[in-house]
Amino acid sequence: MTKDLCLRLGELAEKYETADFVKEDPSQFLRWYTQVRDVEVAAFTAAMLSFGNRKQFIPKIKYIFELADKAGGLAQWLCSGDFENSFFSPDGNDEKKFYRFYSYFDMKIFFRSCARILKSAETFGEFFRIKAESRAAECSVAVCVLEEIAKAFGDCAIVPKGKCSANKRVHMFLRWMVRKNSPVDLGLWEWFDESELIIPLDTHVLQEAIKMGIISEKASGSYKTAVKITEALKEIWPEDPCRGDFALFGLGVDAK
């Protein structure tokens, strides 16, 4: 990347990575709870539903959390199994769609998987940290966590698991959990190095990266493209390439 482009991206990151960013973004849900046990599973739930129109998915996420809060919080709602009886379609048919192509039944499968994790470890972070440490000689932390998320939610349609897919929602969740010293991201997973993160690649990021010449005009929304953009951003932020997510995504949203 040219010096001018690096400077431009740095300026954009400064502009968009602010506390105001969360107002219209699903990252607003990172601070719905205060206990880590709730925070992490809430972040994962919010990330998995964050696609499509914000005006549609943000109310859906709020509905889940408000329902869970009546039972003492999200972790309690999941582990107690209360969601089985309190989360249902208005007409009682769980095959009806809850959001887009995910049904109430799909969501319950997701909740059951979340509950299994919370019953086997104190927090989501602890669950995946233990998995990563047990496989330290086998693969990097980032690769391990991605694979273990796919395993933990193997029967769950809501969690993307394709090896060629950019898996934007999973990488966004990881950004939230890993990046430190941010007014947006929480940085709870100190055992996961920020330099291993992959940028959450969506349409906004893809389009802006193409316009700036970071990637080819023929690039698709694939994992390979996400890695290529991330590697380019390391020229500016070698230890924290996902800072560039704010620059590209923020500019893309403003350009709409």
Q: Which residues pair with 222 in a beta bridge?
A: 165
- CA 125, CA 250: separation in Å to the nearest integer? 28
Kindly report, residue by residue over 155-185, the tens digit of the pLDDT: 999 998 877 788 999 999 999 999 999 999 9
- CA 235, CA 132: separation in Å to the nearest integer? 27
- CA 193, CA 177: separation in Å to the nearest integer? 11
**Assessment of whether the complete model's pTM goes beyond 0.85:** yes
Angle at 65 between CA 61 and CA 69, to 5 degrees: 170
Residue 24, pLDDT score: 86
Please list, in sequence order, all residues whose beta carbon lies within 8 angstroms of the beta carbon of residue 48, skipping any fewer than 6 positions away.
Answer: 110, 158, 159, 169, 173
Average pLDDT along the chain, 256 residues, taken 10 residues at a time: 93 95 93 97 97 93 97 96 93 90 95 97 96 92 94 93 85 98 97 97 94 93 94 96 95 74
Residue 255, pLDDT score: 62
Q: Tell me the DSSP string of 221-237.
A: SBHHHHHHHHHHHTTT-
Kindly tell me the sign of the dihedral angle through the C-alpha atoms of 88, 90, 94, 95. negative
* 184: exposed, middle or buried (Cβ count in 10 Å: 0-12, 13-18, 19+): buried
Residue 31, pLDDT score: 95
- Tell me how crowded residue 3 is: count the other CB atoms within 10 A of its CB: 7
- Upper half-sphere CA count for residue 57 (Cβ side, 13 Å): 19
Q: Which amino acid is at 94?
A: D
The answer to whether 181 and 190 are in contact (CB under 8 A) is: no
3-class SS of residue 28: helix
Helical segments of the chain, H only: 3-16, 36-49, 54-69, 74-79, 83-86, 104-120, 124-134, 141-152, 168-178, 203-211, 223-233, 244-254
- CA 111, CA 96: separation in Å to the nearest integer? 17
Residue 50, pLDDT score: 95
Residue 227, pLDDT score: 95
Residue 163, pLDDT score: 74
Please list, in sequence order, all residues whose beta carbon lies within 8 angstroms of the beta carbon of residue 68, skipping any fewer than 6 positions away.
Answer: 74, 76, 77, 78, 83
Phi, psi of 54 (to 5 degrees): -60, -35
